Amino acid sequence: MGINGIGTAGYPMAGDTTKRTRQNVSGTSFAEQMNNMAGKKGHTVYMKTDDMLYSGGNGTGLSFYIKYAENSTEDDPTVIAKGIDEKGDEFEQTIHINKINPKFATIVEMRALEAYTGVEKRNGFSSLPMGTGDMGLNDRRDFMDMFKNAISDMKLLSRKEAAAYYQYSMQAYWDFMIRK
């Protein structure tokens, strides 16, 4: 239904014979938008191989894989993370597992710790709490507080199994912090 002769969504009202074209809110045509997108980089996805501890990413475009470093030892487990950050730039990081602090960690560090500790992933889901999908390469968060919030939310929603799983995962990271 239109108001004062103006149809909804830029279309003419019934009986209106004035020729109109629908224009995008941004003012560019569909063809212009497609041409603009053609020059932009797509997302990179790393397929997991047998020598990788982790392969994945998140909604920001961050995509990476993690492997043990050649100089990794039992006393100083070390991994190399390589990938593409949220800006489309390549990166490589050396991560010393024993130096990871889950109370102030990046998503890449926590994925390395998740793989190293062998925290069980249930039904293909991450052992990490919700809220990591918007993290960039260098963003740091208190994952232990994130676990507490996720557990509280799951209990509020009467999702006892999910709350128990996050409790199990959080305990594994607390145990890691106590051991080191």
pLDDT tens digits, one per residue of 131-171: 888 999 999 999 999 999 999 999 999 999 999 999 999 99
The domain of 166 spans: 52-179
pTM of the model: 0.73
Domain assignment present for residue 108? The answer is yes
Mean pLDDT of the chain: 82
DSSP symbols for 56-122: EE-TTS-EEEEEE-TT--SSS-EEEEEEE-TTS-EEEEEEEGGG--TTSB-HHHHHHHHHHHTPPPG
Domain assignment present for residue 175? The answer is yes
CA distance 66 to 109: 10
- Residue 57, class by beta-carbon neighbours within 10 Å (0-12 exposed, 13-18 middle, 19+ buried)? buried
Domain assignment present for residue 34? The answer is no
CA distance 16 to 6: 9
CA distance 120 to 1: 55
Chain segment 5-36, per-residue pLDDT in tens: 444 444 445 554 544 444 444 455 555 554 44
**Tell me, what's the pLDDT at 111?**
95
Domain assignment present for residue 130? The answer is yes
Segment 109-122 shows an average pLDDT of 90
Domain assignment present for residue 12? The answer is no
Q: Are 62 and 107 in contact (CB under 8 A)?
A: yes
> How many domains, the chain?
1
Does residue 94 surpass a pLDDT of 90?
Answer: yes
Domain assignment present for residue 98? The answer is yes
Domain assignment present for residue 158? The answer is yes
Altogether, the residues listed in the chain come to a count of: 180
